[in-house]
């Protein structure tokens, strides 16, 4: 139908579809709502609100690239439609495109000066932009050293009043008893001493600094490897994984495939527990960087605010420096590549190309290149490549996966990065598996979590599990002003 030729019947049908879509959106059935808004747009493509409402659905499903495209279309259809600018501002903020977001928030506030919500978000955005610019300015100051280099951990005093687990002061290391007591204490929403926190983080940072960007993992006979996807600050579900599937040991290795933090409000407990296991059993637990182990995401989605609330800015900076050192990929027995996001916008990328990424100098992944795509890309059902629904990275089809695997002598790709109803999905002719380990994501999605157990003879066993109760702390508790808008 021509944009200029919408008859009354089509316009009426479009309004009916919009009403159905609105009801689905209110019920949090976002995929179905997107279908209805799309049908409304097909019936009458000249109504800005249809695009804006579909943009809101895409924001809720983290498809921020699509959300921006729809907001742009709403503005093209009606440049006076203020909500289009608001949707675009929210989606750009989710992608940490702070200046673009601020530009739109200023338009919204100018047009709707009585809108307190928009004004509060604009002010928050202004603060973030100023802070980011300040951080970039001091980045080039050669006299600024890392927190790890300037922190004198041993000068920190453990007070007599501290009633938590204590490290052996002769060896300055942890043992299984300390780890068990730490887990029990964190489960009770208590802290361990900041001196021990610093030691654990510093120890893991040192391990990671010695690790390549791509790590080879073997599975000895009579052993198994468990691959877990996103855990997103859901500490009690992390503990449930260990209770269901066993704890790391000499014969049971774990690989946690990124996104340990953000969204869930027990992110510090999750990452601290994983770090402690890594220090105690360095060859029985592996950690990969996800797109949420990055500064800009932590500013928005809660981890920075959580660490500052529970400890200090110094503690967060030390976590940040450690995240910068996390490996980007793992290869299991030379046959299965495991990365957080996915594949690349070009063919002929080799494992050596991944291995040679200078992640320590690059630090943050940026918005293009191999490091970015490893953390951000997603599979698509169609052959070829497409623009990312997220607005960062790329989407890659079955043919892209097949060529990459054949080029590198691999059998399969395992990745995470996306919530799945049953915790995992097998696609691309069985060659691409998504595993997601945060059940009932953000306390609202209702999905199962999943993990993959792999034996020494490379047999894969998929295990799903439900969420368990946790203390009454809402997701995104420590997030910025935008947290509520960016929750699922």
At residue 428, the 3 state secondary structure works out as coil
Q: In what order do the strands lie in the sheet with 378-379?
A: 378-379, 394-396, 385-387
Rounded Cα gap, residues 268 and 478, in angstroms: 11
CA 161 distance to own-chain centroid = 37
Residue 292 designated active-site: yes
Residue ranges in 8-47 assigned as alpha helix (H): 8-26, 30-43
Rounded Cα gap, residues 205 and 319, in angstroms: 9
With beta carbons less than 8 A apart as the criterion, state whether 238 and 193 touch.
no
Q: Which of 193, 232, 240, 292 is catalytic?
A: 292
- Residues annotated catalytic, as ranges: 292
């Amino acid at each position: 139908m021509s944009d200029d030729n919408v008859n009354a019947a089509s316009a009426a049908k479009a309004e009916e579809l919009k009403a159905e879509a609105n009801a689905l959106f209110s019920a949090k059935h976002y995929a179905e709502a997107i279908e209805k808004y799309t049908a409304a747009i097909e019936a009458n493509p000249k109504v800005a609100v249809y695009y804006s409402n579909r943009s809101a659905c895409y924001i809720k499903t983290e498809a921020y690239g699509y959300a921006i495209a729809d907001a742009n279309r709403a503005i093209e259809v009606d440049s006076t439609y203020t909500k289009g600018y608001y949707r675009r501002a929210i989606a750009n903020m989710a992608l940490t495109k702070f200046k673009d977001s601020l530009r739109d928030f200023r338009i919204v506030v100018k047009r709707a000066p009585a809108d307190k919500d928009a004004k509060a978000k604009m002010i928050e955005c202004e603060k973030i932009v100023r802070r980011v610019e300040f951080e970039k300015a001091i980045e080039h100051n050669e006299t600024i050293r890392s927190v790890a280099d300037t922190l004198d951990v041993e000068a920190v005093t453990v007070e007599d009043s501290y009633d938590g687990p204590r490290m052996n002061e002769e060896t300055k290391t942890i043992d299984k008893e300390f780890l068990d007591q730490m887990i029990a204490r964190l489960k009770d929403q208590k802290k361990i001493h900041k001196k021990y926190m610093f030691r654990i983080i510093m120890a893991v940072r040192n391990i990671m600094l010695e690790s390549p960007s791509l790590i080879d993992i073997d599975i000895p006979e009579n052993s198994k490897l468990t691959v877990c996807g996103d855990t997103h600050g859901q500490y009690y579900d992390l503990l449930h994984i260990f209770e269901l599937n066993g704890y790391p040991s000499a014969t049971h290795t774990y690989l946690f495939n990124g996104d340990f933090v953000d969204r869930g409000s027990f992110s510090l407990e999750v990452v601290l527990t994983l770090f402690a296991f890594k220090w105690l059993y360095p060859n029985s637990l592996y950690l990969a960087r996800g797109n949420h182990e990055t500064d800009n995401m932590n500013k928005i989605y809660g981890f920075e605010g959580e660490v500052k609330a529970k400890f200090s800015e110094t503690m967060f900076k030390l976590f940040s420096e450690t995240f910068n050192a996390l490996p980007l990929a793992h290869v299991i027995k030379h046959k299965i590549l495991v990365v957080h996001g996915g594949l690349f916008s070009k063919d002929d990328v080799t494992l050596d190309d991944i291995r040679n990424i200078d992640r320590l100098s690059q630090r943050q992944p940026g918005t293009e290149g191999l490091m970015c795509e490893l953390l951000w890309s997603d599979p698509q059902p169609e052959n070829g490549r497409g623009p990312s629904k997220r607005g960062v990275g790329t989407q890659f089809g079955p043919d892209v996966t097949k060529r990459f695997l054949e080029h590198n002598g691999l059998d399969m790709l395992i990745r995470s990065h996306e919530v799945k109803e049953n915790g995992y999905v097998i696609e691309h002719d069985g060659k691409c598996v998504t595993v997601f380990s945060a059940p009932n994501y953000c306390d609202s999605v209702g999905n199962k979590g999943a993990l993959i157990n792999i034996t020494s003879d490379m047999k894969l066993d998929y295990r799903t599990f439900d969420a368990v109760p946790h203390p009454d702390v809402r997701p995104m508790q420590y997030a910025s002003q935008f947290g509520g808008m960016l929750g699922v």
